[in-house]
């Protein structure tokens, strides 16, 4: 059991060395894109929700 755990940890360390981590600039850019897209989707959802509410109030 101990040998399996040691092998697992060694494999994790090897794999983590292969990872290509983003630069600070790439990370900032990606974060900005995610925030902007979330805001756009939130506004879109709000507009759709208000439109459906307005239509349903008119019907009933």
pLDDT tens for the chain, residues 1 to 60 = 999 999 999 999 999 999 999 999 999 999 999 999 999 999 999 999 999 999 999 887
What does the CA dihedral 36, 38, 44, 50 come to, rounded to 10 degrees?
A: -130
Distance CA 31, CA 25 (A): 10
Where are the chain's structural domains? Answer: 27-60
Distances in whole angstroms, Cα of residue 43 to Cα of each of 47, 53, 54, 57: 6, 15, 16, 21
Residue whose token pair is 């897209």: 37
Q: Which two tokens stand for residue 13?
A: 């360390």
């Amino acid at each position: 059991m101990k040998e399996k755990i040691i092998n697992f940890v060694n494999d994790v360390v090897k794999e983590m060395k292969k990872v290509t981590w983003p630069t600070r600039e790439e990370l900032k850019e990606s974060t900005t894109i995610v925030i902007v897209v979330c805001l756009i989707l939130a506004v879109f959802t709000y507009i759709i929700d208000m439109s459906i509410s307005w239509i349903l109030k008119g019907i009933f």
